[in-house]
Structure 1
Amino acid sequence: MATQKLYAGVKLREIRARLGLTQKAFADKLGVSLPYLNQMENNHRPVSASVVLALAQEFGTDVTELTTNDAERIVSDMREALADPVFAAVPPPLADLRLAASNAPALARAFLDLHRAYRQSHERLASLDEALGREDTSLRPSPWEEVRDFFHYCDNYLDAIDRAAEHFACPSGIRKDVVKSASEALRKLGIDLHYSDNSVLRQFDPATATLTLSARADPATQRFQLLYQVALATQGDLLEATLDLARFQTPEARDIAKIGLANYFAAAALLPYRVFQAAAMETRHDLERLADIFGASIEQVAHRLSTLQRPGAKGIPFFFVRVDQAGTITKRHSATRLHFARFGGACPLWNVHRAFETPGQFLRQLAETPDGVRYLCLARDVSKPGGSFQAPVRRYAIGLGCEVQHASALVYADGLDLRGRFEPIGISCRICERPDCHQRSVPPLERRLRVNPDRRGFLPYEIAD
């Protein structure tokens, strides 16, 4: 089998800039000529095995950095953006998109930002938004989308915060009682902890230095909210420094991101990296057993598995998604080659949509995307009761999966024929080229159509070859 060539020019330039070396000095250290390095940095040549070895030996570089770039994610996002009817002309070929993502990622992201601004402006006009005509109206991303994309392009892994949380939970390398540690940390700061029989999960009163948690919430939620407050109370400088580096466009986005960073710390403290990773391998990623071991919810465990992307100690690359009953994606992250639609819902053929039909059960699916990559997918419904008879129940479904070559490390693969039939799934109808999908809602972007008024199949048109 032919080995896939590694083109990682952007990453090579980033490593060289981080080391503060000129091209000449970097080439000398790697044992290659200056023109050869220049060609590799511009993706005119693949990175050779000798260069990969030199990076590891000479600089201690984690060579997985070279393969964990944003190119595929950017390509997926650009294909979806170009599916917008505003781009009436024939879209650029996939090869051109890959070149742009690999050689000019900043330009590609600027294009995505511009398209997102256009969409928001169009939606405001369509809904007669009150902001129309106001002096402070501007074409910029919503704070929520800006923060979501920040985590998306960070691979949902923030090293400094993750390590700070791990140190808090395991100061000597051994996991401590995080509830006790959190309570002691807050008490040292003069913060009193109380529980109240109300529906508000967490309420902090700075005037009285009192933190009130809901007694109605389940224990996993209580632990998480307690650790969230620890993050705000003890990690302020780290959170603010991370926010400064992110350079959000609005104060609202910065505020939302701060909540996200505190949530990240809480999850990483509840499920500390190395201890959790070891337990995941030992249990073969059994979500229920991991939830029991760490006192977490199944959703928290599934989400955490998708963040184990620490350089030099990576876990299995997972994707994680949460959808509501309307099929809208409310959380999404992928450390795999599977990337989710930025707008709209997920493919209806995916098992995550069937999870609502079988509450309390894990659904397993062997699925294949149009690019030929095969996945083991899990899905389960998640109900979040309000704590009383009259309180509303929030219902979601979560999806977790990995590429099939990692399936043997999951207990959920037991009994499945990994060489058998894989169900075809996609990402978004506009960028899915499957011609015979019975669930297709709109035509594919890059294919011509044939319309025959005398013949009707699943669709009122046929997709030409």
Structure 2
Amino acid sequence: MATQKLYAGVKLREIRGRLGLTQKAFADKLSVSLPYLNQMENNHRPVSAAVVLALAQEFGLDVTELTVGESERLVTDMREALADPVFTTPTPAVADLRLAASNAPALARAFLDLHRAYRQTHERLASLDEALGREDASLRPSAWEEVRDFFHYCDNYLDAMDRAAEHFAASAINGKTVESAAQDLLRRSGISLHYSDKAPLRHYDPHARRLDISARASGPSQRFQLLHQVALLTQNDLLEATLDLARFSTPEARDIAKIGLANYFAGAALLPYRAFLAAAQEVRHDLERLADIFGASIEQVGHRLSTLQRPGAKGIPFFFVRVDQAGTITKRHSSTRLQFARFGGACPLWNVHRAFEAPGQFLRQLAETPDGVRYLCLARDVSKPAGAFLAPVRRYAIGLGCEVQHAAQMVYADGLDLKGRFEPIGISCRICERTNCHQRSVPPLEGRLRINPNARDILPYEIA
């Protein structure tokens, strides 16, 4: 496979701006000419190996910043959007999409916003209840999707929030746990804490200064909800400043994002960055041992592993996903080159779907995506009982994985033949390039079809 050239002009300009350097000063530091730097910053030339080395040596830059991040996510999202049947012209080549994502990321995001608005309009018109006879049926952006994309494009790592949570966790000294530190903070603030069988998962009454948490929830859930409320009470200025910078389009999106940011703080306080990273490396990313060490759930641990992207102290780049029994993706975060479909479900060949068939077990899979990248994938079911007879049980499956070159750092790679067979998986049938997939649900938009009425194989057509 040919080595892909690295075009990272937007990222170079961002790094230079962060350092407060002029183009000439930056070029001098990198030992290149001013015209050469200008060409790299405008993606007329790829970033050379010598420049990558100079960035690492001169500025201590984590060079993975140049290769993993918004650009690949934009390419994947644009490919999926362009696979929509509304586009009748041939889909642009991946190389062209990469140039668009690198040179004009704002334009790429605007295109995705436009496509999302089109889909929302189409879905509303398909529903008579929404399209006919209602005065309030005007198009509104989906607040949920807007917030999801906010976390998606910041690598699911928020440095200021993460460090604030780590600072709070550091206050749990002299044998105290983070939970007891949170309880002490509530007492000092004059807030009473109650665990009740009749309470919802969490309810705070600001007038009575009373916090109720469900006694039927699991220990990790109780701790998480306690820390969520601590975030709302002690980090409001930071939450609001982050929301101001995000510039959400609706009050609903801003409110949903505030919950997401408080959740981020809670997870980062329960699993503080440096302590959690060190423990993860020591136990070789054994999720069960990490859950036991930190008093967290398997899902909380898996999610946290996907956020360990602090510059200068990065962990293994993981992807994390949660799906329901219908195959719908309800959470998705990726620090790897693997990106998830924005609409619909995940590839049916992925082991995360089989987790429901093996409750309580970790399933391992060596998988390869159409771009030739190989991954070690884990999957496990997660049940969330409501704590009473006949109460509904929420069931999900979580998936966690990394590129195979990191697999030796994971206990789950033990006993696997990392040079053996890798199962082919994809992202979405509409943009998957595979021509011989027995689980394909719809034809790929990028391929021509050959249809022979006198012959039938697994699929009723062949992909040229």
**TM-score category of the 2 structures, normalised to the smaller one:** over 0.9
1:396 counterpart residue number: 396
User: Structure 1 residue 203 and structure 2 residue 203: aligned?
Assistant: yes
Separation of aligned partners in 1, 2:71 and 2:132: 36
State how far apart, in whole Å, the 2-side matches of 1:330 and 1:294 are: 25
- TM-score (ref. length: structure 1): 0.96
- Distance of aligned partners of 1:136 and 1:11 in 2 relative to their CA distance in 1, 3 Å threshold: farther
Letter matched to residue 320 of structure 1: F
8 Å Cα contact 1:157-1:309 kept in structure 2: yes
Deviations 1:405-431 (A, max 9, x none): 111111111111111111111100011
| Structure 2: distance between partners of 1:4 and 1:452 | 38
Structure 2 match to 1:191: 191
**Does the Cα contact within 8 Å between 2:69 and 2:153 map onto a contact in 1?**
no
Matched, 1:80 2:80: yes
Secondary structure, counterpart of 2:383 in structure 1: strand
The 3 A distance-change label for structure 1 pair 140 and 99 is: farther
Tell me if structure 2 keeps the 8 A contact 1:6–1:46.
yes
Q: How well do the aligned residues superpose, as a CA RMSD in angstroms?
A: 1.9
Quote the Cα distance in structure 2 between the aligned partners of 1:170 and 1:238: 18
Shift of 1:104: 1.0
Q: How far, CA to CA, are the matches of 2:209 and 2:134 in structure 1?
A: 40
Q: CA deviation at 1:57?
A: 4.5
Offset, 1:291: 0.5
TM-superposed deviation, 1:139: 4.7
The Cα of 1:136 is off from its aligned counterpart by 6.6
Map 1:351-366; keep pairs closer than 5 Å: 351-366=351-366
Q: How does 1:407-422 map to 2 (within 5 A)?
A: 407-422=407-422
Q: Secondary structure at the match of 1:345?
A: coil
Q: Do residues 98 (structure 1) and 98 (structure 2) align?
A: yes
User: TM-score, normalized by length of structure 2?
Assistant: 0.96
Aligned pairs for 1:32-431 (under 5 A) are: 32-130=32-130, 139-171=139-171, 176-198=176-198, 200-431=200-431
CA–CA separation in structure 2 for the residues paired with 1:365 and 1:186: 45
CA contact (8 A) 1:113 1:141 kept: no
**Structure 1 letter corresponding to 2:396:** Y
Letter in 2 for 1:249: S
Task: Check conservation: 1:200, 1:214, Cα contact below 8 A.
Answer: yes
Structure-2 separation of matches of 1:43 and 1:333: 28
Kindly tell me the number of residue pairs found equivalent between the two proteins: 464
Which secondary structure state, in structure 1, belongs to the residue aligned with residue 150 of structure 2? helix
Structure 1, unpaired ranges of 5+: none
Q: CA deviation at 1:68?
A: 2.9
Asked whether the equivalents of residues 199 and 386 of structure 1 are also in contact (C-alpha less than 8 Å), the reply is: no
On the 8 A contact 2:227/2:265 being kept in 1, the answer is yes
The SS at the match of 1:431 is coil
Percent of pairs identical after alignment? Answer: 83
Q: Any gaps of 5 or more consecutive residues in structure 2?
A: none
8 Å contact from structure 1 (residues 170, 176) kept in 2: no
Q: Which moved further from structure 2: 90-99 or 226-235?
A: 90-99
- Aligned twin of 2:433: 433
- Give the structure 2 partner of residue 30 of structure 1: 30
Contact 2:351 2:364 (8 Å CA) reproduced: yes
Give the superposition deviation at 1:162: 0.3
State the distance in 1 between where 2:165 and 2:81 align.
37
Output the CA distance in 2 between the equivalents of 1:459 and 1:122: 29
C-alpha distance in 2 between matches for 1:166 and 1:297: 19
Report the residue type matching 2:308 in the other structure: L
Q: Which amino acid aligns with 1:157?
A: Y
